[in-house]
């Protein structure tokens, strides 16, 4: 849509609760709007609500070249994903998340073309959801599809020479899971920024959903240990300074509440991140993914000179492609794909990355669910099926 605005400025409407109804009409309604003009309107519902919009629109003549009515269910004011209507009818639409945008566009000034519309909108509670993907860094990985992993987070230090330092996963509006070793020594929280909705970290304008959030506090697991025998309870929570906004490209991953007693042997998982693409190599600007297999702990232990704890979960390059997590992928997720994305582990440590048939050690999420619940509780979505 060409958004050269004439006659009216973009309008923002905020729904305060479920009992409020907002009416939106075209200029001069019930008369017709002026030809050669266009206007945009955005309606935003309260957190964890959607916008329900009903409209009646009349456009004459019924040709898209001159008169159009647009709806963006993502609330995009550039209408890059918009539905377009060029006739006279009525409809009801529900936003994907909190915001919904509408617009009309009239291209022929001083002609007999004309149009008008009347809409009303209200807020409706959004059901708890997690683990969605629009398309239901990593050694020798392949580039992920854009927005394939809405829960993934890049953690960056604004003032460090290596700005990207770890990955993470969104589990609620205010909570990000990462590895304890990523954040235990970081004292200046104002330096840490969580990048969400990104695919290419070097291009802020590449993604409709890209956003950045400051960190209010860090909670390191009290049982976290570091030793030559590996890291125990290598998990931490970051609390964001403001709530993370959901969209098709940003959202929480599901936690395995109903599978808390499962070990997941030999299932395949996606490991993703922006880390180096080879040992001591350069980092990737775009999000990478590899597919690894969960290995039983007693087999994993044969690759290391120390015990693998029950609170850890191992991954294996089962195809021998030299695929693995690598530097700066720490804290990122092990994602188990079903009808939704589920978090099984947090990247912790491994062998020299890029080795064929390499085995990596990660923090097991199922053994840390009680600790996570103590800090998040009703903020997280518990998927019931």
66 noted as active-site residue: no
- Give the count of beta carbons closer than 10 Å to the beta carbon of residue 142: 11
Question: For residue 195, how far is the Cα from the chain centroid?
Answer: 10
- Give the count of beta carbons closer than 10 Å to the beta carbon of residue 140: 17
120 noted as active-site residue: no
Cα separations in angstroms, 60 against 36, 83, 93, 112, 184? 13, 18, 22, 9, 64
Question: Residue 163 carries which DSSP code?
Answer: -
Catalytic residue among 284, 325, 330, 348: 330
Residue environment code for 236-246, b if the CB has 16+ CB neighbours within 10 A, otherwise e? bbbbbeeebbb
Rounded CA separation 91/27 (Å): 20
Catalytic residue among 74, 76, 234, 270: 234
The CA-based dihedral angle spanning residues 341, 346, 352, 353, taken in that order and rounded to the nearest 10 degrees: 20
Catalytic residue among 181, 199, 221, 341: 181
311 noted as active-site residue: no
| DSSP string for 219-280 | EE-TT-B--TT--BS--EEEEESSPPPPBTTB-PPBP-GGGTT---TT-EEEEEES-BSSTT
Q: What positions carry a catalytic annotation?
A: 181, 234, 330
């Amino acid at each position: 849509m060409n958004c050269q605005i004439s006659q009216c400025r973009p309008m923002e409407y905020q729904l305060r609760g479920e009992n409020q109804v907002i009416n939106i009409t075209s200029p001069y309604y019930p008369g017709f709007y002026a030809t050669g003009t266009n206007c945009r309107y955005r309606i935003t519902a309260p957190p964890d609500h959607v916008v329900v919009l009903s409209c009646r629109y009349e456009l004459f003549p019924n040709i898209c070249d001159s008169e159009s009515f647009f709806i963006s269910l993502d609330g995009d004011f550039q209408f890059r994903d918009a539905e377009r209507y060029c006739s006279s009818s009525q409809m009801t639409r529900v936003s994907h998340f909190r915001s919904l945008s509408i617009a009309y566009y009239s291209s022929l000034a001083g002609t007999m073309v004309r149009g008008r519309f009347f809409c009303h909108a209200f807020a409706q509670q959004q059901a708890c959801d997690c683990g969605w993907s629009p398309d239901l860094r990593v050694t020798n990985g392949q580039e992920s599809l854009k927005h394939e992993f809405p829960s993934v987070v890049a953690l960056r230090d604004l003032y460090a020479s290596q700005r990207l330092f770890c990955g993470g996963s969104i589990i609620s509006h205010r909570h990000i899971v990462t590895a304890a070793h990523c954040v235990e020594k970081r004292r200046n929280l104002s330096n840490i920024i969580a990048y969400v909705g990104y695919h290419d970290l070097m291009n802020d304008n590449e993604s409709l959903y890209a956003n950045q959030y400051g960190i209010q506090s860090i909670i390191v697991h009290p049982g976290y240990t570091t030793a030559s025998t590996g890291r125990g309870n290598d998990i931490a929570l970051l609390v964001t300074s403001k709530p993370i906004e959901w969209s098709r490209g940003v959202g929480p991953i599901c936690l395995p509440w109903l599978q808390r007693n499962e070990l997941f042997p030999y299932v395949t998982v996606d490991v993703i991140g922006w880390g180096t693409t080879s040992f001591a190599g350069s980092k990737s600007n775009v999000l990478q993914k590899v597919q690894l297999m969960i290995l039983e702990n007693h087999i994993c232990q044969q690759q290391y000179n120390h015990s693998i704890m029950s609170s850890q979960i191992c991954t294996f390059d089962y195809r021998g492609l030299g695929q693995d997590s690598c530097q700066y992928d720490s804290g990122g997720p092990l994602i188990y794909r079903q009808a939704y994305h589920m978090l099984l582990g947090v990247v912790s440590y491994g062998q020299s990355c890029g080795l064929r048939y390499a085995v990596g050690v990660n923090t097991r999420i199922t053994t840390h669910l009680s600790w996570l619940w103590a800090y998040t509780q009703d903020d997280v979505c518990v998927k019931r099926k």
